[in-house]
Chain A
């Protein structure tokens, strides 16, 4: 018994002894840590303080005397050029928008973008599209940054959120030209209107977004009513979730109601559904499958016309800089206006860097029972300056 007590006593003593220097060391360590954290804290505070408050003024405007400071306030200026060499077995007729228009060299578009935050409440994006002999305001709109939670408003001229293809700029297309049905129903350059958009990100654990636009409705592929009350009303509901860690899926439906230019008060309705699947197993491997169906119904004098069609494509990134894509277009689902048409489009894309792109594309286009039209494009795209990414 005594022995046990002794052992206990000894071990306690040894424990206490060994504890003492440790505690002292720890204490020193914490003091040191405190000081270090204090030093970093004040360093961080200094880093956020403005470097110099010297200002110059021109008239009513004050700006920092530091030249570099001024430059930081410039909007992001960027330019994207799109050129294509094209061959058509029969050259296309009518408006082609930014698509290659004839056998030979084509300037598809040069897009100049100015983008900046305006103040704590707004940002603005302006994109000018230059073709060979005209300049057009492709988009120019403000976006609110501090609306009550979940709401956002855009105003100005913008691509209407109808489906997926219509919202994308040429440089974000996975092919050198527009999808067939989009061209016929929403116009060769897409449906871009002057108006306002209110959108709401519904506060749920998954993505569910409602967008509504109210605009002039001047786009004359399906709209363009001439009376003063002929506005265009359009909406979109989209949802998206991750299927697995590596992939995500998006579904959207869109609708547009307006008036067309076939006669006073004639109405047009366009409906669309789209699905996008993205798979990205590795840093430089990805697969995109995107499909979209469009249906249009419009009054044309006494009768009502209907047409519909779809496109569906896959784009596979098989190496960091290489993509292979295949698109299928089909009109006449369920009915067509002039003739039933389908088109098959394989494409191969090479991005030497993030800022240039080379694309070869072939197209097999068959209208009714006419001879098929073969075409081939070699597209070159370059991008200079800090071009803000577009929404997905």
Chain B
């Protein structure tokens, strides 16, 4: 009996020792921003793997464990994770991260949002997000807002670290501003160039760089392409001089590959999140992103 007790104590040891703020980000990109801002005062983990579609995820019991021990939950908001996150937040039985508490952070707050539905919506439009397109992190200006948001919440949770977070936030934002300048120079030639994307997930990127998305491989969000839509796309590509097809790496590549081959335009498979293709942080992710698209245009 004593042995078992000791063993249990041993297992609980890691919980007792670590006094760091425990942050769980649903997506790797959110976790990565939290790491930048939180530095050594936080312990960050993520739920979704970089090669997965954040809309479709199986909630796993291990997610519940992560959430039950979290001090701060960072999620994308705008119903991005609506299919799987709410039930596991309930199951995590952690009052600190319940909706509308300070530990439950909607990172879309204060973001510049696109595609907010006007009027009545229904699902004949596909899997729509009426409150706005949830793939906000592909605009670096939104990431800046997310970083400030995270730092505010960290400072509230861990007032001793307030100066530390402020300092790190400043460093991150300054570095991001420099990167934005660099990226804006690199993408200066993107303006007005026509592309096709797989899902409506790159709207923030194309809005920022001036790329023009004339259609998506999915006829409607979440609905795989039919052969009729593929024909339409082919004629659109040749009529409007589409330069490239862009897709995140986790989408099925069969139809885009077919389109690219038929229309003789490049298919650009871009890393979908931090960690995909070995990218180590947001800067690397966007560097790779821009480099790949630039190479194809």
Q: Are B149 and A388 in contact, with the CB atoms below 8 A?
A: no
Residues on A with C-beta less than 8 A from B64 are 201, 207
* Chain A CB within 8 A of B98 CB: yes
* B65 to A, closest residue via Cβ: A207
* Chain B CB within 8 A of A221 CB: no
* B92 to A, closest residue via Cβ: A201
Q: Which one of A37, A203, A319 has the greatest number of beta carbons of chain B within 10 Å?
A: A37
Kindly state the separation between the CA atoms of A250 and B90 in the bound complex, as whole angstroms: 19
Q: Are A321 and B62 in contact, with the CB atoms below 8 A?
A: no
* B166 to A, closest residue via Cβ: A37
Q: Are B148 and A44 in contact, with the CB atoms below 8 A?
A: yes
| Cβ 8 A contact of B84, one of A47, A149, A201, A389 | A389
* Chain A CB within 8 A of B4 CB: no
Q: Are A120 and B60 in contact, with the CB atoms below 8 A?
A: no
Considering the complex, which residues of chain A in the window 143-168 have a beta carbon less than 8 Å from any beta carbon of chain B?
Answer: 143-147, 149-152
* A281 to B, closest residue via Cβ: B51
* Chain B CB within 8 A of A327 CB: no
Kindly state the separation between the CA atoms of A388 and B251 in the bound complex, as whole angstroms: 25
Residues on A with C-beta less than 8 A from B152 are 41, 44
* Chain A CB within 8 A of B49 CB: yes
Given contacts A240-B61, A320-B252, contact A245 B49 (CB under 8 A): yes
Please give the distance in Å from B126's CB to the nearest CB on chain A. 7
* Chain A CB within 8 A of B235 CB: no
Please give the distance in Å from B13's CB to the nearest CB on chain A. 10
Considering the complex, which residues of chain B in the window 101-141 have a beta carbon less than 8 Å from any beta carbon of chain A?
Answer: 101, 109-110, 123, 126-127
* Chain A CB within 8 A of B223 CB: yes
User: Contact flags (1/0) for B1-17 with A, using CB distance below 8 Å?
Assistant: 00000000001101100
Kindly state the separation between the CA atoms of A242 and B177 in the bound complex, as whole angstroms: 39
Q: Are B177 and A207 in contact, with the CB atoms below 8 A?
A: no
Given contacts A44-B110, A44-B152, contact A320 B173 (CB under 8 A): no
User: Contact flags (1/0) for A30-51 with B, using CB distance below 8 Å?
Assistant: 1011101100110110011000
| Cβ 8 A contact of B56, one of A34, A201, A284 | A284
* Chain B CB within 8 A of A93 CB: no
Given contacts A201-B68, A205-B11, A283-B56, contact A241 B62 (CB under 8 A): yes
Q: Are B51 and A283 in contact, with the CB atoms below 8 A?
A: yes
Please give the distance in Å from B263's CB to the nearest CB on chain A. 23
Q: Are B145 and A278 in contact, with the CB atoms below 8 A?
A: no
User: Contact flags (1/0) for A355-392 with B, using CB distance below 8 Å?
Assistant: 10000000000000000000000000000001011111
Kindly state the separation between the CA atoms of A277 and B118 in the bound complex, as whole angstroms: 43
Secondary structure at the A interface, as helix, strand, loop or mixed, is mixed
* A392 to B, closest residue via Cβ: B59
Please give the distance in Å from B55's CB to the nearest CB on chain A. 9
Kindly state the separation between the CA atoms of A145 and B252 in the bound complex, as whole angstroms: 39
Given contacts A34-B170, A248-B62, contact A282 B51 (CB under 8 A): yes
Please give the distance in Å from A147's CB to the nearest CB on chain B. 6
Please give the distance in Å from A334's CB to the nearest CB on chain B. 31
Please give the distance in Å from B246's CB to the nearest CB on chain A. 17
Q: Are A29 and B174 in contact, with the CB atoms below 8 A?
A: yes
Q: Are B145 and A204 in contact, with the CB atoms below 8 A?
A: no
Considering the complex, which residues of chain B in the window 173-222 have a beta carbon less than 8 Å from any beta carbon of chain A?
Answer: 173-174, 177, 222
| Cβ 8 A contact of A33, one of B65, B68, B98, B174 | B174
* A120 to B, closest residue via Cβ: B98
Given contacts A143-B90, A149-B93, contact A203 B68 (CB under 8 A): yes
Q: Are A48 and B170 in contact, with the CB atoms below 8 A?
A: no
Kindly state the separation between the CA atoms of A392 and B62 in the bound complex, as whole angstroms: 11
Residues on B with C-beta less than 8 A from A32 are 177
Q: Are A354 and B222 in contact, with the CB atoms below 8 A?
A: yes
Please give the distance in Å from B141's CB to the nearest CB on chain A. 10
| Cβ 8 A contact of A391, one of B11, B91, B95, B174 | B91
* Chain B CB within 8 A of A306 CB: no
Please give the distance in Å from A177's CB to the nearest CB on chain B. 23
* Chain A CB within 8 A of B144 CB: yes
Given contacts A33-B174, A40-B144, A245-B49, contact A146 B98 (CB under 8 A): yes
Q: Are A248 and B93 in contact, with the CB atoms below 8 A?
A: no
Kindly state the separation between the CA atoms of A389 and B82 in the bound complex, as whole angstroms: 8
Sample (24) of A-B pairs whose CB atoms are under 8 Å apart: A29-B174, A44-B149, A120-B98, A123-B90, A146-B95, A149-B68, A149-B94, A152-B91, A201-B65, A201-B91, A205-B11, A206-B62, A207-B61, A207-B64, A241-B62, A248-B60, A278-B58, A280-B52, A283-B53, A354-B56, A355-B123, A392-B58, A392-B60, A392-B88
Q: Residues of B with Cβ closer than 8 Å to A?
A: 11-12, 14-15, 49, 51-53, 56, 58-62, 64-65, 68-69, 82-84, 86-88, 90-95, 98-99, 101, 109-110, 123, 126-127, 144-145, 148-149, 152, 169-170, 173-174, 177, 222-224, 250-252
Q: A34-B170, A43-B145, A201-B91 are in contact. List 4 more A-B contacts (CB 8 A).
A: A33-B173, A146-B98, A205-B14, A205-B15
